[in-house]
Chain A
Amino acid sequence: MSSSSEAPALQGFLRADGRKGIRNCIVVAYLVECAHHVAREIAGSFRGQPVHLIGFGGCYPNAYADRMMNKLCTHPNVGGALLLSLGCESFNRHRLAENIAKTGRPVATVVIQQTGGTKKSISAGKAWIEQALQEIAEVPRAPLRVNELVVGTVCGGSDATSGVSANPAVGRAFDMLVKQGAAAIFEETGEMIGLEDVMSARAVTPELGQQLKSSVEKAAYYYKEMGHASFAPGNAEGGLTTIEEKSIGAYCKSGDSPISGLIKPGDVPHKGGLYLLDVVPDGEPRFGFPNINDNAEIAELIACGSHVILFTTGRGSVVGSAISPVIKICANPETYERMSDDMDINAGKILQLEASVDEVGEEIYDKVLDVASGMQSCSESLGHQEFVLTYKAFEPIGPACLPV
């Protein structure tokens, strides 16, 4: 194992709140769909530079989306933010700008109606970014230890190989990260259905165990109301038959560490350990499916502080993300052969009995450190910066969710 007792010397971007990033990007954030085009034109003119497009399309207010945008714009990988407002939407742009400014980051708001329309807003936004890029180049660097990293995991485009090769290998990498003191986050309680008892037994306290179990029961109820499990046609084509079967595969990503807490989107773990992210809204089902696609989950993992995302796929997903790099771990050897340009790790060799789960787990761990030290992941170098944020509703977590 390349990471012995000697922690590797990574260099992070030091933020005023003491948190450290592994990237230093400017986010261009539209606050309603009506400002999306202007934001995209601005971000698009900085191709190849660290300028990422994010946003919320809704015109009606939503506490979840507000919190997500606040957490994302002050993520340690973010050096500054340009907000794009049409001018009449409900999003509280004043408070968002204030919150970002309080963290010492450069921030500006372009209100399209006040600035004089599309062309003038694009040109004002571009001019601000030119200068902000110079400003964030001065952000101090500081040693970053593995125990300061937050790593999230998600699976997408799963097939029946995911749960046998890539997901268990991520589980081993998670065990190594947790052992080194990092915070590791797994998610999608809708893909824990059938495993509520097995999982709750791993909680560090019985009260947390009960919370974990309740979160899965909530997910089972919610998805039943939606009339559809977290299951796509490609999952079945790839050999998965039931949601329970998909769950087992998804669950393997969590590894074997004790579960230290249950968090909700925007909750940042304050110490190392393994955390379950509850992505299913609270209360009666509203606004539709919990997460409309994989990127909605990735955005939530990033809002919880994830510096880097471990994405397992069997069918072959190509997505990346704004703000935090996505590392692709391909479960299916046939998919890997077809789509190797998009894949960072070939876990399919486990199925071909050419590598053990432990060996691929170590390879993933090493890749996390490489990407944390600045090396681009495949999706990152291909320019993938997908992002989506929709309406949801959550109650805050209770004291049993984060036992000391």
Chain B
Amino acid sequence: MQVEGKSQKLLRIHRADNVLIVVRSVKPGDREVIDGHDVVFTQAIAIGHKVAARDIHAGEKVYKCGVPIGSAKEKVPAGGHIHLHNLKSDYIATYTLDKDHVFVK
């Protein structure tokens, strides 16, 4: 496992991955170097969440631990937060609670 940049906030689990794991929470304005590119975060991202390791195209498979975990619903720029809004399962849709605590797909 290799930590990107010097701040030890992002972790690449597998070399084939196009996402990195946040291991220390990210705040808006934090800067990270991802694959040689300077990225400034515009939002807070919690520990355990994923960010794009490079630009990911709409429809492209997203890889974590070297295994596909679904397909991108839209283009995600390097450093962008990857979650329910832009990644979908290739098997069974994910249901969860929205910000108003309503169960949604």
B29 interface residue per 8 A CB criterion: no
Q: Could you say which of A164, A228, A229, A314 has the most chain B C-beta atoms within 10 Å of its C-beta?
A: A164
B47 touches A242 (CB 8 A): no
A245 touches B95 (CB 8 A): no
B56 interface residue per 8 A CB criterion: no
* A237 / chain B contacts, CB cutoff of 8 Å: 96
B23, B87, B92, B97: the one within 8 Å of A220 (CB): B92
The complex places the Cα of A209 from the Cα of B68 at a distance, in Å, of 21
- Chain B nearest Cβ from A215, distance in angstroms: 15
The complex places the Cα of A237 from the Cα of B83 at a distance, in Å, of 10
A194 touches B21 (CB 8 A): no
A195, A198, A242: the one within 8 Å of B89 (CB): A242
* A238 / chain B contacts, CB cutoff of 8 Å: 46, 48
**With A229-B91, A229-B92, A231-B95 in contact, do A248 and B3 touch (Cβ < 8 Å)?**
no
* B67 / chain A contacts, CB cutoff of 8 Å: 194-195, 198, 244, 248
Whose C-beta in chain B lies nearest to the C-beta of A356?
A: B1
* A233 / chain B contacts, CB cutoff of 8 Å: 95-97, 103
B21, B46, B69, B92: the one within 8 Å of A241 (CB): B69
Across the A-B interface, how many residue pairs have beta carbons closer than 8 Å?
A: 106
Whose C-beta in chain A lies nearest to the C-beta of B83?
A: A241
* B48 / chain A contacts, CB cutoff of 8 Å: 159-161, 164, 238-240, 314, 332
The complex places the Cα of A35 from the Cα of B90 at a distance, in Å, of 46
The complex places the Cα of A314 from the Cα of B23 at a distance, in Å, of 13
A231 touches B94 (CB 8 A): yes
Q: Can you list, as one digit per residue, whether each of B40-51 has a CB less than 8 Å from chain A (1) or not (0)?
A: 000000111110
Query: Which residues 204-231 in A have Cβ within 8 Å of B in the complex?
Result: 220, 223-224, 228-229, 231
Chain B positions near chain A (C-beta within 8 angstroms): 3, 8, 11, 13, 21-24, 46-50, 64-65, 67-70, 82-84, 87-97, 103
Nearest 7 A-B pairs (CB), nearest first? A160-B48, A242-B89, A239-B49, A239-B48, A245-B69, A236-B96, A229-B92
Jot down 16 A-B pairs with beta carbons below 8 A, ordered by A.
A159-B48, A160-B50, A223-B92, A233-B96, A235-B96, A236-B84, A236-B96, A242-B70, A242-B91, A243-B89, A244-B89, A245-B70, A248-B64, A351-B23, A353-B3, A353-B8
